[in-house]
Structure 1
Amino acid sequence: MVPEMQPRIREIHLTTPGQKVATSRNVTLIVGPNNAGKSALLYGILHEMQRIEGQQGPDHPIVDSLEVEMPSKEDLREFFAERSEIYPPGTYRNTFYQETTYVVQNGTPLQESVIDQASNMTNRFGPNISSSLIAIIGPEGRGAGLSSRQAPDLMNNQAPQAPLDFLWADRDLEEKMNGHMHTAFGENIVVNRHAGPNVHLHVGRVETPEPRIGDRSPYMAELMALPLFNEQGAGMQAFMGTVATLSTDRRTILLFDEPEAFLHPPQARLLGTLMVQLARETKTQVIASTHSDDLVRGVLDGAKTESEVTLARITRPSHEKNRIAQVTPSTIKDMYSDPLLRFSKILDGIFYKGVVLCEAEMDCTYYSAVLQHVEETKELAASDLLFTHSSGKDRLERSFSALHAASVPVAVIADVDLLADSAKFRSIYEAMGGEWTVIEAQFNVLEASISSLKRWPSRTEARENLQKILGVDGNETLTASELRSIREAVRVETGWKLIKKRGRSGVDSGDPTIAFDKILTECYKCGLFVLEVGELERFHPEVGGTKQTWLRLVLEGGLYRTSDAAQKLLLRVRRFIEGLQ
């Protein structure tokens, strides 16, 4: 029975004043953009844990101090007793212990006096006990614990150390690991206990029943013919190595650096689910840095309660500073519950410095191309922004709110007809921090002016357009395309449609133009970039065709490099997001 009270990390204080990570007792995920300090944070935890109380040492660039939760002297002894071999004072084969000694999984002998001393610590474990309580597992070599090795020497009191030792000694555990292997890869594993002093792990299944060790049987030939686990791909070794470590390691805190490395999305998601389940079963505190949306989803899928998981987003506004945004699991779960958000790339925004939210995918393609060109020509550092879309104006607010709740800096780029529906425009404007009273009077002026621009088609225009449409095909029945063309030919052209085609130049001069400029200026302040030119295609009005054709021609012809208006817009967007980081 694992004691309830165990050594834990309660808070991680960063060198940036006021910035800290409040951890969960089960799984804490560290997310954020590249080079923000996710991995460094983990190694900083280990660095701080191993410091000697009161002794000065080299400072870590990210982690300043820790708050740890240590059990009482009696509870800490019970904790080590449950996961160690205990030796009272005396002489043993090849060794002598002066006081009661606990030999932990990694073979380190801990004297009772050292354990008692550790129970008084509040901000680190110290070098004598850290290796028995905390470990860091990097992306490389996670399957090493399942590689072929010698069986534990029980005559010399050698306890199991590597995960394979535990599988060798526990057939129930072997069967459980086999289940995880089959779920993840559709394969089986089997421990080879018939190879003399060595233990091997094979991939596959043996049909012949296993005999007693020493009895001759076709089982051995079948088993030896199976491939070894340590000869399999990096993904399989990484997945099973991580699961086996979570299942067998007796240290109370495990730090995983990018556990999703080498894994395909389904395996990354399954690993996340198993990570929180195994942490719950073994009462292990897991702190993991990740850049995988699939791992995050898996962890949330596996959590039974909100307290089991916390997510901290780390960013680096400058080389000297880091910033932490603590995100509740319910916020992320709410994002995943929305089908549009779940199946788009919007949620990937938590792994970027910021998000530029657009109406459609083609908008994202154009704007990202323009920004990349600007950064290259002006020799600016890559901004690491995610361009993603909300599949139309109606979902802009929902998408923004989801990312904002996860503390992701967001800018929105929208065509000018976002203003055509005053209720929707006001809703997203206020959601992004704008105050309606600041622009209400100007909006009323602009709306009245643009409403007066409504244009009905003349009989002459309608007759000419219909003759063109009906004269193309001699078939008696109209096609769907012709019906759409006819409807378009007699459609009333609203003022907003005209403004979308002409942009600011289509707005009446005087008060309406002043109102238009005021509204756009206030929108820019909160990150809502309504296009002054009207719509995306107006950055290159000389190019015609459908939007898809327009984009292809603009990209293939390199025209995206020539629009000053587009470049100024993207630089403005970039500066806005930088100001939020």
Structure 2
Amino acid sequence: MAVSFAVSEIRFVDGTVMAPPANGMTLFIGPNNCGKTALLRELSPRITNPAALQHPPLWIRQVLSSHEGSAEDFLLWAKGQGHRSFDVYGEAHLRGGTNAAGSLSESDAKNWWTLGEYDYLQSLLVTAQWTDRRLQGRSDSQRWDHAEPAAEPVQFLYEDPALLKAFAAYTREAFGKEISVDWTVPGLQLRVGATGIPDMAPPTPELVAAYRRLPPLVTQGEGFRAFVEILLNTVLRPTPVIVIDEPEAFLHPPQARLLGRILAQLPGQTQMFVATHSADFLAGVLEAEQARPVSIVRLDRSSGTSAARLLNPDAVQGLLRTPLLRYSNLSSGLFYDRVVLCEAAGDCQFYAAAFDTTKDAGAAHDNTLFLHTSGKAPLADTARRLRQCGIPTAVIADFDYLRDGLARAVTSLDGVTEHLDSDLKCLREHAAGSRSETSAGGFKTEMDALLKGVKASDPLPERVLGELTKLAKGGNRWGDLKKSGLGGLQGDPYNAAMRLLQAAADFGLFVVPCGELESWVRQVPRGDKALWSQKVFDDGWYAKPTDELKAFCSSIRTYLRDGAADYTRAAAQAIQVSSRLDHRHAVVTNSSNDPLTEVRIIRATYTHDGRHHIQPLWGTPESKTSRALPAGDELSVPLVLLSDGEGHEGFLPHDSTDQALTVHFRDRAGLWWERIGDKPPARLPSGPSEPDPEPQ
């Protein structure tokens, strides 16, 4: 029977439950100082000993591990991994264990495996690599009694020339230099380079001299040493579970990318847990020829509490194997606090500068990344995918986004468009019903701008010819509206556009109210966008934001922080949704005048004996979900009654306090909200969670 050992379940303190892929990689990501290393330090010891943590957890409430295979199968597997047995006082032993000799008897190994006492087998089952110890690894080793198995990575390389050859290929690809084991010194020492002379025993003076000319690994740079240290402890004899903190530390981007690819292609069944903030490492993982399942958990403590956002392997596959995300730097947004998406690179430069210029004096760094999608079409879908990872993401688009992009964008972001239809129709009819007429003066101004930089002897560029043709013919009003924005509207079309801009902002779609990028600085003539941008920066206009631009940036900041640019207006329906726990039921009430389009009861929480507890709700997910909740109606879920041994029955302990339901619901506009007990509703731009699974 096949032998396997893996973490089967992780329960986070916020109630999130994940089943990490047994033969794959789980990546813990998030901005700096969000707690990735702390999470791994809580996870690593509890993989083999669930009770190992001696302090209240910051991230992980419980870790469950399991194995397959009999004790005999396990012993055969260990020997197949290179852990051959050796004699200790007439009894067969394996390397490993927790005693002073670093070994355990085969009979004990089989017994611990059968009983699930994995802590005694920890060195055979789990490898952990920590950033603060990476440069302290030994690049040399002592000789050993060959009647016993090798115990250290350098010894593994020395006794297996094929393994050394494969290992040297990794460093050659990464740094153009291979690794050799110098066995002509009193012990064993790793050196950089090749002697060019076949090894032979006893060594010739030429061979000894050739080894001495190679620099010892310990004299190399931190990146080379860190790369070798990780591979020594992972690829030579992979354990079933490997934990690595920041594998990209000390590495340049190409080496981080290669390391990701190497680790993703480890042979056999290996479960990896990696904390990283490197888009290059992530790209390498996705480049692996033999792709394994990858889960992503994004950590966030911006609200002061620990929150984990889980993406299972199917969601990751759809997210990061999208060409636009995979072959651009958009995936780097996974490692920032917030992301703002724009249409083009020039837009990113201007709005990033505007954010810096308009932020409050003394405010902390935003840690916001501005990224472009090379056009309007991918904006909403890219935002949706980044939000799936739990990353607050806003979109900035020109005014003509209202023409045909807004409805598709809202739908892509799980919104409802019916309440937008009448305003969209009003605006479209206004734009189509009056064609713009170009005056002679206006034509000359536009023509001069288009021909700027074109010499008299040059052929007329196709782009310029097309624009001049459009200008001469006139056209519908959208071209004018893109330049003027709200300033080109009056009456009903103006009011309709205002409502559409507000509705778009509710979904994090910020339409430029004055038209387009160039409309923010009208002192600089339009024309070539690159020249406009250069002049705006050269002449310092970027540092002189108008009041309208200040307000625009402020509303985006508010959305990225709170999930709503105008909380009072956006939450008008959400604040009328309440919940309660009674003796036998969990109840959600919609007291608003409009229906909720979906409701999910996630979990119950309470305080008992001074500690905060999470109580999943019994029953199937279907029983805790309603596709719609009409105005004035209730969703009621029956609860399983328990006994405390003294005759009291109830869903929660009778003397518990702070009882609250966590509810996720979708309002009439399609906005998702979370409400925990009587606390104010909070926006969920990343979407809802599934109800907690039924407890076992």
Alignment TM-score, normalising by the size of structure 2: 0.72
Contact kept? 1:469, 1:482, Cα under 8 Å: yes
Q: Aligned AA for 1:302?
A: A
Q: Which of 361, 367, 385 does residue 351 from structure 2 map onto? A: 367
Equivalent pairs: percent with the same residue? Answer: 26
Partner of 1:293: 279
**CA distance, structure 2, for counterparts of residue 464 and residue 574 of structure 1:** 37
In structure 2, relative to structure 1, the CA distance for the partners of 1:234 and 1:303 (3 Å cut) is: same
Partner of 1:223: 211
Partner of 1:35: 33
Contact kept? 1:303, 1:309, Cα under 8 Å: no
Contact kept? 2:338, 2:393, Cα under 8 Å: yes
Q: Which of 299, 307, 310 does residue 322 from structure 1 map onto? A: 307
In structure 2, relative to structure 1, the CA distance for the partners of 1:350 and 1:303 (3 Å cut) is: farther
Contact kept? 1:108, 1:132, Cα under 8 Å: no
Indicate the SS of the match to 2:165.
helix
In structure 2, relative to structure 1, the CA distance for the partners of 1:561 and 1:74 (3 Å cut) is: farther
Indicate the SS of the match to 1:68.
strand
Q: Which of 391, 399, 405 does residue 416 from structure 1 map onto? A: 399
Which 5+ residue runs of structure 2 have no aligned equivalent? 564-684, 687-696
Q: Aligned AA for 1:515?
A: A
In structure 2, relative to structure 1, the CA distance for the partners of 1:375 and 1:461 (3 Å cut) is: closer
1:64 and 2:61 are equivalent in the alignment: yes
In structure 2, relative to structure 1, the CA distance for the partners of 1:351 and 1:466 (3 Å cut) is: closer
Contact kept? 2:342, 2:373, Cα under 8 Å: yes
**CA distance, structure 2, for counterparts of residue 160 and residue 547 of structure 1:** 66
1:535 and 2:522 are equivalent in the alignment: no
- 1:254-308, Cα deviation, whole Å (9 max, x unpaired): 2111112222222222211211222x33x332211112222222222225355x4
**CA distance, structure 2, for counterparts of residue 270 and residue 288 of structure 1:** 15
Q: How does 1:43-58 map to 2 (within 5 A)?
A: 43-49=41-47, 51=49, 53=51, 57-58=54-55
**CA distance, structure 2, for counterparts of residue 337 and residue 20 of structure 1:** 24
Q: Aligned AA for 2:504?
A: C
Structure 1 range deviating more: 327-336 or 457-466: 457-466
Indicate the SS of the match to 2:182.
strand
Partner of 2:365: 382
**CA distance, structure 2, for counterparts of residue 103 and residue 485 of structure 1:** 76
In structure 2, relative to structure 1, the CA distance for the partners of 1:21 and 1:7 (3 Å cut) is: closer
Partner of 1:496: 478
1:505 and 2:487 are equivalent in the alignment: yes
Q: Which of 256, 270, 295 does residue 284 from structure 1 map onto? A: 270
Contact kept? 2:97, 2:122, Cα under 8 Å: no
Partner of 1:96: none
Structure 1 range deviating more: 246-255 or 256-265: 246-255
Indicate the SS of the match to 1:504.
helix
Bigger RCO of structures 1 and 2 (CA < 8 A, at least 6 apart): 1
Contact kept? 2:96, 2:121, Cα under 8 Å: no
Q: How does 1:64-143 map to 2 (within 5 A)?
A: 64-71=61-68, 72-80=70-78, 82=80, 84=83, 86=85, 91=89, 101-104=93-96, 108-111=102-105, 112-113=107-108, 116-117=111-112, 119-121=114-116, 125-126=118-119, 128-142=120-134
Contact kept? 1:310, 1:328, Cα under 8 Å: yes
**CA distance, structure 2, for counterparts of residue 468 and residue 547 of structure 1:** 11
Deviation at 1:166, TM superposition (A): 0.6
Q: Which of 526, 547, 565 does residue 564 from structure 1 map onto? A: 547
Q: CA RMSD in A?
A: 3.4
**CA distance, structure 2, for counterparts of residue 229 and residue 469 of structure 1:** 61
**CA distance, structure 2, for counterparts of residue 473 and residue 560 of structure 1:** 30
Q: Aligned AA for 2:64?
A: E
Contact kept? 2:486, 2:515, Cα under 8 Å: yes
User: Could you say which structure has the higher helix fraction?
Assistant: 1
Alignment TM-score, normalising by the size of structure 1: 0.84
Deviation at 1:407, TM superposition (A): 4.7
- 1:87-142, Cα deviation, whole Å (9 max, x unpaired): 67x637xxxxxx76433289523354476246434xx844x443443232123554
Indicate the SS of the match to 1:269.
helix
Indicate the SS of the match to 1:247.
coil
Partner of 1:257: 245
Q: Aligned AA for 1:16?
A: D
In structure 2, relative to structure 1, the CA distance for the partners of 1:172 and 1:465 (3 Å cut) is: closer
Contact kept? 1:32, 1:291, Cα under 8 Å: yes
Q: Aligned AA for 2:298?
A: R
Which 5+ residue runs of structure 1 have no aligned equivalent? 93-98
Q: Aligned AA for 1:344?
A: S
In structure 2, relative to structure 1, the CA distance for the partners of 1:299 and 1:80 (3 Å cut) is: same
Q: Aligned AA for 1:293?
A: A
Deviation at 1:218, TM superposition (A): 1.6
